[in-house]
Amino acid sequence: MTMKFSTFKYHLGQGTRSLLKNGFMSLAAIATVIACSFILILSLCVCMNIDYILRQIEENIGITVFLGPNVTDDMAEEIGEKIRSIDHVTDAVYKSAEDNLNDAMNSWENASILEGLKNDNPLPASYEISLDGAAYQDQVVKELQTLQLSVEAELNSAIDPDSVEKIYLDANGNRISEKQAKELGIAEESTESASQTESETESSVQMTTQKIISNAGADVTAAPVNEQAQSNPTAEAPTEAAADQTAEKAAQTAEKETQEKPTEAVTYSSEPSKDLLNTLDKAVAATAGGQAELSGSTYYYNEKSADGVAGINKYDASAYGMKDYEYKGIEKIRHAADEARILVRINTAVRIFSIIVVIILCVISVSIIMNTIRLTVVIRKNEINIMKYVGATDWFIRWPFIIEGMLIGLIGSVIPSVLCFFGYTECLHLLSEKIPVFSNIAQFMGPVEIFAYIAPITIIFGILLGVIGSVSSMRKYLRV
Amino acid sequence: MSSMISMQNVTKIYENGALGLKDFSIEIEKGEFVFVVGSSGSGKSTFIRTLLKEIEPTTGEVFIDSTGLQTLKRKKIPYLRRKIGCVFQDFRLLPSKTVYENVAFAMQVIEASNRNIRRAVPQTLALVGLNKKANSYPDQLSGGEKQRVAIARAIINKPPILIADEPTGNLDPDTAWGIMELLKEINLRGTTVVMATHAKDIVNKMRKRVIHLDNGVLISDVEEGGYDDEV
C-alpha cells in the first residue's frame, strides 16, 4: 500500500477538516477516549506498581545454596557455573565463608559476639541465586537438587577405595603409625563402631554416629582433615591384598560383635609408618576428599551412602573402625517456594483483573468512537458514493476516516497521559512528604520510569481505538 | 473480442423478483455513440449498473474492453470504473468544493500528481466551456453548468467509455442541446458514449445507434435510428 505524498497530504487534509467540521461530535469522541485513557493509565499505574513491589519482594526470597565446608575454590566455581546454566537463573553470586561471617556480623547488633569466630569460621560458603520470576522457584529448586545429587555422585565415584588413606593423629594432631595407635590402646577404647557393620549392609541412606574416646581426653579442636590419598604417596595406602584382608577382617568383626572385640584402628598396611610420636589423641581415617569434623576428643560424621559407593566403602569403614562418609558438594539448598507461590498467585490475580478492566474499556471506547465516526461517514455518504464512481479504491476512501479516528485517539490519549504524568509525580511527592514511613514499606516506580511504559501504551491504545472505530463504522458504506 | 462493451445473454432478476434484463446481448464498438431508450423500468438502469459492476447479472457474461466482469475481483472494481466516466441526471457534485476542486477530485482519487492535476483541470474546464467559473461553488451555477462540471469530472481521466444516465433530464431544451453538442464533441475525440434517455427529439435529431429496451428485453437495435423506429 504505497501512497504518494500528495495523496497523503490530501488524506491528512480531509481527515483534519472532517474533524474540525464535525466539531461537537469530535469533541464528544475525544472526551470518551480521554475518559478511557485516564482509567487505563490509572489501572496501569496500580498494576505496574504492584508488579514492581512484588518483584522487589521476589528478589528477597531467592534461593541460597550452601556448599560443603571442604569445597575447593575450583569446585565452587564449577558448581557456580552449573547453577548459572539452569534455566531462569539470572545470577548466582558466590559468597565465601568470610563474606557470610561479615554479613552476619553486619546484620547483628552485637557483632562482637561473632568476633571470636573469625579465626575459626563455622559458616559455609554459599551461592545467592536470583531468578527471573518467583514462579520458577519450584522448578529451579528441583534442578538444584538434581545438581546436588550429580555433584555428589560424580565426586564419590572418583574415589578409589583401595587408595584410601588412614591417618592417625596424636593429641597434638601429629601423625603417628597405626602400630603406635594400637599400642596406645585407641582400638580397645573404640568399640561402638562394631555394631555398625550389620546395619551398613543395608544400602539405603543411613545416618550413623560413632564415638571414639581418646586416651588423652584433651580438648583439641582440629580443623577438618582434607587429605587426598593420591597426593600423599608416603601415606599408608593399603595394597590390594591388604584390602582383601580388610574385607575378611570386616566379616570377622561382624561375627565378633557380641564379644565386643576391638575393631577400631586395626589396619593392614603393608608399609607401616616409622614415625614415632607422642600420645595419641585421635585416629582419623580420611578418605579422599573426605570430611571430618573434629570436636574435642569426640568426632561425629554422617554418612549418606549412594548405590555402589556404599558397597565399596563398607569394608574400609568397618576395617578402619570408622564410618566412611561421602563428599558433599552442596550441603543444603534453602528456598522459599511457598512464599513464592503466594506471590505468584497475587501477581496473576492483579494481572487478570487489569486485563479485564482494559478489555471493558476498549469495548466502550470503540463503540463510542464508532458512533461518532459513523456520523461523519453518513454526512460524507455522497462524497464516498462519488469517489466510488470515479474509481477510488476502498483504502483511498478509508484513509481520511482512519486519520480522523487516529487524531481523535491521539488527542484523547496524549492529554490524559500528560496530565497523569504530572499528577503521578505530585502524588509521589505528597506521599513521601506526608507519610515518610511509606517509603520504607514499598518503593514506587519513578514517574519517568513508569510513564516511559504507560505513555506509549496509552497512545497506541488510543490510536488503535480510533482506527478500529473508524474502519468498522464505515464498512457498510464502502459497498457501492 | 474487440468490442468496447459486450454483453452476452445477460439476465438480471433482482432479489425482490423484479426483472431487470432478460437474455440481453449487445456489442458496442470503440468510438460508437449509442442511445439506450425505453420507458421507466425498461431495464436502462440495470444495463448501466451492470456495466459499472454495481450489480451482478444473474446469468450471462459482460466484457468491458475485453475484461470479463464476472471474474473481476472486488478489489479491481475501482480500476474498471476508471475506464468508465459517469454522468448522472442529478449531477452529483460536491457542494463544499469549487468547480475546480470537484474536477480535480476525480484526479486525486486516482492519485494523480499535483502537477498533472494543475495542467489537466483548466484544459478540461476549457473544453466544457467553464474555465471562467473555476472558483464558483456548485450552488452558484445553472443546471447546464453543473452538468458540464459533471462531464468535465467524468472525462478528465480520459476514460475510453462515457456513460451518461439521462444527462439532459433536468435541463431545458436549449441547455440540453448544448450538453448534446459537448457529448458529440467528446465522442469525436474517440470516447465511446453510451447515453440512456427518454428525450425523443434528441434521439431523433442525432441519428445515432439506438437500442430500445422494454421490460428488460431488447426490442430494437438500429443504426442511425430514431426513438420510435421499429425493427
Domain that holds residue A270: 161-195+206-303
- Min distance A452 CA to chain B CA atoms (Å): 39
pLDDT in tens, B164-213: 999 998 899 889 999 999 999 999 999 999 999 988 889 999 999 999 99
Question: Which pLDDT belongs to residue A173?
Answer: 54
Is A7 close to B108, i.e. CB distance below 8 A? yes
Q: Are strands B33-37 and A89-95 parallel, antiparallel or unpaired?
A: unpaired
DSSP A351: H
* Whether pLDDT at B119 is above 90: yes
Give the DSSP H or E segment for A90.
strand A89-95
Are residue A93 and residue A147 in the same domain, yes or no?
yes
CB–CB of A186/A215 below 8 Å? Answer: yes
C-alpha distance from residue A140 to each of A65, A132, A308 (Å): 12, 11, 28
Residues of chain A with Cβ-Cβ distance to B78 below 8 Å are 388, 391-394, 396
The three cell numbers locating residue B70: 464476472
Question: Which pLDDT belongs to residue B9?
Answer: 94
User: Which of B108, B151, B157, B163 best probes binding to A when mutated, by most A CB atoms within 10 angstroms?
Assistant: B108
Give the DSSP H or E segment for A309.
helix A309-319
In chain A, whose CA is at the least distance from the CA of B156? A390
DSSP A134: G
Question: Which pLDDT belongs to residue A61?
Answer: 66
Are residue A101 and residue A117 in the same domain, yes or no?
yes
Chain-centre distance for alpha carbon A425: 34
Are residue A32 and residue A80 in the same domain, yes or no?
no
Higher pLDDT, A322 or B225: B225
- CATH code, domain with A107: 3.30.70.3040
CA B62/CA B21 separation, integer angstroms: 13
Question: Which pLDDT belongs to residue A433?
Answer: 84
Give the DSSP H or E segment for A355.
helix A337-379
Residue A344, domain member (yes or no): yes
Query: Which of A10, A385, A394 lies at the smallest CB-CB distance from B108?
Result: A10
CA A262/CA A186 separation, integer angstroms: 9
* Whether pLDDT at B149 is above 90: yes
Compute the radius of gyration of chain B from its Cα atoms.
17
C-alpha distance from residue A128 to each of A78, A80, A131 (Å): 15, 10, 10
* Whether pLDDT at B51 is above 70: yes
Question: Which pLDDT belongs to residue A58?
Answer: 67
**A385 touching B (Cβ < 8 Å):** yes
Question: Which pLDDT belongs to residue B59?
Answer: 94
The three cell numbers locating residue B136: 464558483
Are residue A165 and residue A289 in the same domain, yes or no?
yes
Which residue ranges make up each domain of chain B? 94-158
Query: Which of B75, B81, B113 lies at the smallest CB-CB distance from A389?
Result: B81
Residues of chain B with Cβ-Cβ distance to A392 below 8 Å are 78, 109-110
Is B109 close to A396, i.e. CB distance below 8 A? yes
CA B5/CA B7 separation, integer angstroms: 7
**Structural domains of chain A, count:** 3
Are residue A355 and residue A438 in the same domain, yes or no?
yes
Residue type, position A248, single letter: E
Residue A29, domain member (yes or no): yes
- The full DSSP string for chain B is ---SEEEEEEEEE-TTS-EEEEEEEEEE-TT-EEEEE-STTSSHHHHHHHHTTSS--SEEEEEETTEESTT--GGGHHHHHTTEEEEETT----TTS-HHHHHHHHHHHTT--HHHHHHHHHHHHHHTT-GGGTT--GGGS-HHHHHHHHHHHHHTT--SEEEEESTTTTS-HHHHHHHHHHHHHHHHTT-EEEEEE--HHHHHHHT-EEEEEETTEEEEEETT--TT---
Residue A322, domain member (yes or no): no
Give φ, ψ of B24 to 5 degrees: -95, 125
Are residue A125 and residue A184 in the same domain, yes or no?
no
ipTM: 0.86
Beta-strand runs (E) in A239-382 = 280-284, 293-295, 298-300, 330-334
Residue A314: which of A230, A203, A226 has the closest Cα?
Answer: A203
Question: Which pLDDT belongs to residue A168?
Answer: 55
Are residue A457 and residue A376 in the same domain, yes or no?
yes
Residue A150, domain member (yes or no): yes
Higher pLDDT, B216 or A62: B216
Are residue A167 and residue A299 in the same domain, yes or no?
yes
Are residue A69 and residue A53 in the same domain, yes or no?
no
Residue A36, domain member (yes or no): yes
Are residue A152 and residue A74 in the same domain, yes or no?
yes
Residue A362, domain member (yes or no): yes
Query: Which of B86, B109, B114 lies at the smallest CB-CB distance from A392?
Result: B109
Q: Which residues of A197-221 are buried (b: 16+ CB within 10 A; e: fewer)?
A: beebeeeeeeebebebebbbebebe
- Min distance B153 CA to chain A CA atoms (Å): 8
Consecutive 10-residue averages of pLDDT for chain A (480 residues): 74 81 80 85 83 74 76 80 82 80 73 71 79 75 82 68 51 59 53 42 37 39 40 43 50 47 40 37 35 34 37 37 50 72 78 81 78 78 86 88 88 93 91 77 82 90 84 76
Question: Which pLDDT belongs to residue A140?
Answer: 82
Are residue A142 and residue A181 in the same domain, yes or no?
no
The three cell numbers locating residue A53: 513491589
Are residue A299 and residue A166 in the same domain, yes or no?
yes
Residues of chain A with Cβ-Cβ distance to B105 below 8 Å are 386-387, 390
Q: Are strands B33-37 and B209-214 parallel, antiparallel or unpaired?
A: parallel
Query: Which of A3, A386, A391 lies at the smallest CB-CB distance from B82?
Result: A391
Question: Which pLDDT belongs to residue A181?
Answer: 61
